């Protein structure tokens, strides 16, 4: 009989087929191991159950705050851990290994909300919010997407109008993680001059309403929310001074996409580790299924993709530490690691046979969660278009009708 998922898991060491461990510093290994130990002890035992019940595991927040994951690569001046970006990435991968929902919580809290305040906020805003958010004592959300503005945030409709020495915001946001229990919402809105800006709205603002999106089949243990803002008045100092137009969103997204790339790696690693252990123990036709060529091919595809993603991830972290990680590179990173995680999860689910669809084995949970990750932080298509523009110089986001359609049905090429 094949072992329980618990036995299977503890029998396996972290995947490192090509020896990437030697590329890490002592401190980076230590951060990874501490987070791994926490995830094994606190997160994995409760993750599937919360996912099944679509409940957010609030009990895990103090431990995550204590570990230093939130804003992990930011300076200790703001109560953050001050890790290298590689250490921060390794920590994210470990959390994602345990729960894609919890790593999504992290991307919103740390990658988006804290990053917006850190990169675009005033010194007062940073001092006020970052230390509490680093400890998960204060929760943030980040509202960019709207019902009619997803991949194209430049078309967003939320407005901010100057009034009574502050601003009044009106509009809706969709898909916003953590908003239903947030202390602070980072909200993007259009000013009267047509430019985008960004505001901090406190969760108890009387004009700020949230509704958790029901019936999700991905990311079930973390809540995304529909926000309605009706006459939300905020003081003048609630505006982030560094938010100056659509380009400022990219400053934040470049940071959060970096974290999401590591997320894909962590979920892929867990799927592979589970699959490898399972195939060694599961016997059919008189032998462990790991001894069959077709099964080995799937395992090799997984470990090959994971190894390449590991190298890419560490390189991205080193570039980020050097201040040289540009938006197009990070788009390729997110696109690659999440797409590879999607393939890996599907292969792992396959080699687990019927057990692959049981939540007990966690692979199905990852597979479903990766679908959400594939779409957020720039869909795979949008990140492809960003990289495409970087290498060709042509921006291929918007449709323009062909000039001079020919009678034979062929259209003239459109010049940029
Ligand atoms: C689990 C989850 C959590 C999220 N959390 C947050 C959050 O906390 N805060 C926040 O602001 N947002 C959040 N989002 C929203 C997320 O950023 C958007 O879902 C994403 O940007 C895509 O927008 P959309 O869903 O409206 O899809 P659309 O933009 O409508 O895209 C639909 C399809 O069209 C494709 N497409 C769009 N434009 C082009 C084009 N020019 N060329 C080719 N193909 C194109 C897309 O790739 C996709 O396949 C979250 C989403 C999910 C699923």
Domains and CATH numbers, the chain: 5-134 (1.10.540.10), 140-238 (2.40.110.10), 247-392 (1.20.140.10)
With residues binned 3-state (H G I as helix, E B as strand, rest as coil), the percentages for the chain, rounded to 5, are 55, 15, 30
304-354 tens-digit pLDDT = 999 999 999 999 999 999 999 999 999 999 999 999 999 999 999 999 999
Distance CA 196, CA 198 (A): 7
**CA 95 to ligand 1 center in whole angstroms:** 23
Burial 165-183 (b: 16+ CB within 10 A, else e): ebbbbbbbbbbbbbbbebb
pTM of the model as a whole? 0.95
Distance CA 154, CA 327 (A): 17
From the list 318, 410, 351, the residue with the least C-alpha distance to 8 is 351
**CA 243 to ligand 1 center in whole angstroms:** 22
Asked if 57 and 98 touch (Cβ cutoff 8 Å), the reply is no
**CA 153 to ligand 1 center in whole angstroms:** 9
Q: Dmax over Cα atoms in the chain, in whole Å?
A: 78
**Ligand 1: lining residues by beta carbon, under 6 Å:** 108, 142-145, 150-151, 175-177, 219, 224, 372, 375-376, 379, 381-382, 385, 397
Distance CA 44, CA 263 (A): 16
3-class DSSP state of 415: coil
From the list 94, 186, 99, 178, the residue with the least C-alpha distance to 136 is 178
**CA 339 to ligand 1 center in whole angstroms:** 15
> What's the confidence (pLDDT) of residue 399?
83
> What's the confidence (pLDDT) of residue 327?
97
From the list 150, 262, 239, the residue with the least C-alpha distance to 191 is 239
| Ranges of residues in the chain whose predicted pLDDT is under 50 | 1, 4, 7-12, 413-416
> What's the confidence (pLDDT) of residue 10?
43
From the list 126, 101, 269, 254, the residue with the least C-alpha distance to 186 is 126
Of all protein residues, whose CA lies closest to atom 23 belonging to ligand 1?
150
Asked if 121 and 108 touch (Cβ cutoff 8 Å), the reply is no
Residues ≥6 apart with Cβ < 8 Å to 65: 134, 135, 136, 137
Distance CA 166, CA 172 (A): 20
Residues ≥6 apart with Cβ < 8 Å to 19: none
CA angle 263/267/269 to nearest 5° reads 115
> What's the confidence (pLDDT) of residue 409?
60
CA angle 204/208/213 to nearest 5° reads 110
From the list 95, 108, 120, 84, the residue with the least C-alpha distance to 43 is 95
> What's the confidence (pLDDT) of residue 404?
61
Among 249, 366, 376, say which to mutate for ligand 1: greatest number of ligand atoms within 8 Å of CB: 376
Asked if 199 and 239 touch (Cβ cutoff 8 Å), the reply is yes
From the list 173, 167, 110, 180, the residue with the least C-alpha distance to 143 is 173
Helix axes 44-53, 363-375, angle to 10 degrees: 70
> What's the confidence (pLDDT) of residue 415?
45
**CA 173 to ligand 1 center in whole angstroms:** 12
Asked if 48 and 365 touch (Cβ cutoff 8 Å), the reply is yes
From the list 181, 174, 170, the residue with the least C-alpha distance to 203 is 181
Among 103, 108, 150, say which to mutate for ligand 1: greatest number of ligand atoms within 8 Å of CB: 150
| Cα–Cα separations (whole angstroms), residue 154 to 150, 170, 259, 394 | 9, 17, 23, 19
280-318 tens-digit pLDDT = 999 999 999 999 999 999 999 999 999 999 999 999 999
Residues ≥6 apart with Cβ < 8 Å to 193: none
Distance CA 70, CA 132 (A): 10
Of all protein residues, whose CA lies closest to atom 43 belonging to ligand 1?
381
**CA 331 to ligand 1 center in whole angstroms:** 14
Of all protein residues, whose CA lies closest to atom 38 belonging to ligand 1?
151
Q: Is 213 left (phi over 0), alpha (psi -120 to 50) or beta?
A: beta
**CA 193 to ligand 1 center in whole angstroms:** 26
Average pLDDT of the residues of the chain: 94
> What's the confidence (pLDDT) of residue 400?
73
Of all protein residues, whose CA lies closest to atom 31 belonging to ligand 1?
151
Asked if 234 and 205 touch (Cβ cutoff 8 Å), the reply is yes
Among 140, 145, 201, say which to mutate for ligand 1: greatest number of ligand atoms within 8 Å of CB: 145
């Amino acid at each position: 009989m094949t072992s329980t998922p618990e036995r299977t898991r503890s029998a396996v060491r972290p995947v490192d087929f090509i020896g990437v461990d030697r590329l890490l510093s002592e401190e980076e290994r230590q951060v990874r191991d501490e987070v791994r130990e926490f995830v094994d002890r606190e997160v994995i035992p409760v993750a599937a159950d919360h996912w099944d019940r679509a409940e957010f595991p609030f009990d895990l927040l103090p431990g995550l705050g204590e570990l230093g994951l939130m804003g992990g690569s930011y300076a200790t001046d703001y109560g953050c851990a001050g890790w290298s970006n590689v250490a921060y990435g390794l920590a994210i991968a470990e959390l994602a290994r345990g729960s894609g929902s919890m790593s999504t919580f992290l991307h919103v809290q740390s990658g988006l909300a804290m990053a917006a305040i850190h990169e675009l906020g005033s010194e007062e805003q940073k001092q006020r919010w970052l230390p509490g958010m680093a400890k998960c004592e204060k929760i943030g959300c980040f509202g960019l997407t709207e019902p009619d503005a997803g991949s194209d945030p430049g078309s967003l409709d939320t407005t901010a109008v100057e009034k009574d020495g502050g601003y009044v915001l009106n509009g809706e946001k969709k898909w916003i993680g953590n908003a239903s229990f947030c202390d602070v919402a980072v909200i993007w809105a259009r000013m009267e001059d047509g430019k985008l800006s960004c505001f901090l709205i406190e969760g108890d603002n009387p004009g700020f309403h949230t509704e958790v999106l029901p019936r999700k089949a991905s990311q079930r243990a973390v809540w995304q929310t529909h926000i309605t803002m009706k006459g939300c008045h905020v003081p003048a100092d609630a505006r982030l001074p560094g938010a100056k137009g659509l380009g400022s969103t990219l400053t934040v997204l470049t940071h959060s996409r970096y974290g999401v790339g590591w997320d894909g790696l962590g979920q892929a690693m867990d799927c592979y580790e589970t699959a490898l252990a399972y195939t060694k123990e599961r016997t059919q036709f008189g032998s462990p299924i790991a001894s069959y060529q077709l099964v080995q091919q799937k395992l090799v595809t997984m470990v090959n993709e994971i190894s390449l993603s590991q190298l890419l991830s560490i390189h991205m972290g080193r570039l980020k530490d050097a201040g040289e990680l540009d938006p197009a590179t990070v788009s390729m990173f997110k696109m690659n690691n999440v797409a590879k995680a999607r393939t890996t999860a599907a292969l792992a689910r396959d080699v687990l046979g019927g057990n692959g669809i049981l939540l007990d084995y966690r692979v199905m949970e990852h597979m479903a969660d990766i679908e959400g990750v594939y779409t957020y932080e720039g869909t795979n298509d949008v990140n492809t278009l960003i990289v495409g523009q970087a290498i060709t110089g042509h921006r291929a986001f918007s449709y323009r009708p062909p000039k001079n359609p020919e009678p034979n049905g062929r259209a003239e090429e459109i010049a940029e």
